[in-house]
């Protein structure tokens, strides 16, 4: 096996075709079904983008109306699922709650054993429609608050905020949240999407694939990084009385220390993008609006200080999780809720890949190079 080249972490390995999205690190761009994600974020809402990911084209007005009414009809938390969530400890990580919910919704789905393309499309929309109620209710129960029923007069993001906080959402906040949902929706063969494709390749069902993907997303090297960013901010200390410059100076010192100690700082770096994450400028703009809206310049200081010190010391750029974490914090989400929000968004991309994998399937089963004992006898 000495001459076998191991591609650790599958880095640089192209394993299949996809028509769902294109990540181009050289041009620092990301296309969903051919459209630049920045343009989608500027002109579409999350429902339109979800439709695009599943159907390859943006919806007409009639198609969008029908699609939205299907989503709105599926928003309420299934009472049986609520009972199961209530049986989980409030200390359980919200990602464990999401993962359990995806599994329960799979087992309870009327088309559970049907993996035809039509059944998969139905299951994908149902799961996408149902997940905000899970995320919102879980945050509320951890705070000792009652469930808030969904509202059919609100769009996906506005209703998500409504179910979480029980207050009429402010348009500007809804827009920033919607942008984050669009940016988080899809990113080609990342670890969780690849996980979903591996599970699908065994001819297992859509909910099993999504449940596994949620497990992969939980890790801090992947989706869990948006939470970890907030832990960093908290470790440095968020001081509302501080000016932007003071906060930036403390953040720079913190980063210099962290890098001296060879720490990995979450929210920075990317396996594919080496010159910056294509989604960051759009998300940063949304964060800036939230910083202005909530009048919290000290957060801008922490953000800038860390970014500048990392850039100077290692030339490593922020990834999407870096601006997303503080944005969700400003909106009032608990830090452990951040990655579940990512789940609610990424269900669209995962399921688009599951459907694509199922349509041109080949069992995903790589080889390994054995480096254990030579054959021996008992």
Partner residues linked to 24 by β-bridges: 29
Q: How far apart are CA 252 and CA 310, in angstroms?
A: 8
Asked if 169 interacts with ligand COA (CB under 6 A), we say no
Among the residue ranges 58-66, 78-86, 266-274, 331-339, the one whose residues contact ligand COA (CB under 6 A): 266-274
Q: Has 222 been annotated as catalytic?
A: yes
Looking at the Cβ atoms of 59 and 323, the one nearer to ligand COA is: 323
Residues numbered 2-31 forming contacts with ligand COA, rule: CB under 6 A: none
Looking at the Cβ atoms of 36 and 220, the one nearer to ligand COA is: 220
270, 277, 329, 353: which is the annotated catalytic residue? Answer: 270
222, 288, 293, 311: which is the annotated catalytic residue? Answer: 222
- Angle separating helix axes 61-73 and 46-55, nearest 10 degrees: 100
Q: How far apart are CA 367 and CA 378, in angstroms?
A: 27
- In the list 40, 97, 217, 266, the residue contacting ligand COA (rule: CB under 6 A) is 266
Asked if 233 interacts with ligand COA (CB under 6 A), we say no
Among the residue ranges 111-119, 191-199, 260-268, 293-301, the one whose residues contact ligand COA (CB under 6 A): 260-268
- In the list 71, 138, 186, 321, the residue contacting ligand COA (rule: CB under 6 A) is 321
Asked if 80 interacts with ligand COA (CB under 6 A), we say no
Q: How far apart are CA 73 and CA 323, in angstroms?
A: 32
Looking at the Cβ atoms of 125 and 320, the one nearer to ligand COA is: 320
21-24 and 35-36 strand pairing: unpaired
Asked if 265 interacts with ligand COA (CB under 6 A), we say yes
- In the list 151, 231, 239, 264, the residue contacting ligand COA (rule: CB under 6 A) is 264
Q: How far apart are CA 294 and CA 88, in angstroms?
A: 34
Residue nearest to ligand COA (CB): 269
Looking at the Cβ atoms of 217 and 358, the one nearer to ligand COA is: 217
Q: How far apart are CA 128 and CA 210, in angstroms?
A: 11
Are the C-beta atoms of residues 343 and 217 closer than 8 Å to each other?
yes
Residues numbered 196-225 forming contacts with ligand COA, rule: CB under 6 A: 221-222, 225
Asked if 326 interacts with ligand COA (CB under 6 A), we say no
Total of residues contacting ligand COA (CB under 6 A): 15
- In the list 59, 150, 267, 326, the residue contacting ligand COA (rule: CB under 6 A) is 267
Interface map 279-318 toward ligand COA (x if CB under 6 A): -----------------------------------x-x--
> How far is C-alpha 364 from the chain's CA centre?
24
DSSP 76-124: SPPHHHHHHHHHS-TTS-HHHHHHHHHHHHHHH-TTTT--SHHHHHHHH
Residue labelled with tokens 């800036």: 288
Cα distances (Å, whole numbers) of residue 189 to 11, 91, 268, 341, 352? 11, 32, 19, 20, 12
Q: How far apart are CA 160 and CA 173, in angstroms?
A: 12
Token digits for 292?
């202005």
Instruction: Please tell me whether residue 44 adopts helix, strand or coil conformation.
Output: coil
Q: How far apart are CA 326 and CA 301, in angstroms?
A: 12
- In the list 218, 270, 317, 346, the residue contacting ligand COA (rule: CB under 6 A) is 270
Measured in degrees and rounded to the nearest 5, phi and psi for residue 27 equal -95, 5
H or E, element range at 209? helix 206-217
Q: How far apart are CA 144 and CA 165, in angstroms?
A: 12
Asked if 319 interacts with ligand COA (CB under 6 A), we say yes
Residues numbered 146-165 forming contacts with ligand COA, rule: CB under 6 A: none
- In the list 269, 305, 323, 349, the residue contacting ligand COA (rule: CB under 6 A) is 269
Least Å from the CB of residue 87 to ligand COA? 32
Active site residues: 222, 270, 321
Q: Which residues bind ligand COA (CB under 6 A)?
A: 221-222, 225, 264-271, 314, 316, 319, 321
């Amino acid at each position: 096996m000495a001459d076998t080249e191991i591609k650790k972490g599958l880095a640089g390995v192209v394993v299949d075709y996809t028509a769902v999205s294109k990540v181009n690190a050289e041009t620092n761009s990301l296309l969903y079904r051919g459209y630049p994600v920045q343009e989608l974020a500027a002109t579409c809402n999350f429902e339109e983008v979800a439709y695009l990911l599943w159907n390859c084209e943006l919806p007409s007005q009639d198609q969008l109306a029908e699609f939205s009414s299907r989503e709105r009809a599926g928003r309420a938390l299934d009472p049986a699922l609520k009972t199961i969530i209530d049986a989980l400890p409030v200390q359980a990580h919200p990602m464990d709650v999401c993962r359990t919910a995806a599994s329960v919704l799979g087992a309870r789905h009327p088309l559970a054993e049907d993996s035809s393309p039509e059944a998969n499309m139905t299951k994908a929309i149902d799961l996408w429609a149902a997940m905000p109620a899970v995320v919102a209710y879980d945050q509320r129960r951890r705070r000792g608050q009652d469930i808030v029923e969904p509202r059919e007069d609100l769009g996906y993001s506005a209703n998500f905020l409504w179910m979480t906080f029980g207050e009429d959402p402010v348009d500007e906040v809804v827009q920033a949240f919607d942008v984050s949902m669009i940016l988080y929706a899809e990113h080609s063969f990342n670890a969780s999407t690849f996980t979903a494709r591996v599970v699908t390749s065994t001819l297992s069902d859509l909910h099993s694939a999504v449940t596994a993907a949620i497990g992969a997303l939980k890790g801090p090297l992947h989706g869990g990084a948006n939470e970890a960013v907030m832990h960093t901010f908290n470790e440095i200390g968020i001081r509302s009385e501080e000016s932007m410059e003071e906060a930036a100076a403390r953040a720079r010192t913190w980063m210099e220390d962290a890098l001296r100690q060879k720490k990995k700082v979450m929210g920075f770096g990317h396996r594919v993008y080496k010159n910056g994450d294509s989604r960051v400028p759009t998300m940063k703009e949304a964060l800036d609006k939230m910083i202005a809206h909530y009048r919290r310049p000290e957060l801008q200081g922490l953000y800038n200080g860390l970014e500048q010190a990392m850039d100077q010391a290692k030339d490593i750029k922020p990834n999407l999780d870096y601006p997303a974490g503080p944005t969700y914090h400003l909106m009032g989400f608990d830090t452990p809720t951040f990655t579940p929000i990512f789940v609610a968004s990424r269900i669209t991309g995962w399921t688009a890949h599951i459907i694509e994998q199922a349509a041109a399937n080949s069992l995903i089963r790589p080889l390994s190079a054995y480096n254990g004992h030579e054959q021996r006898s008992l």
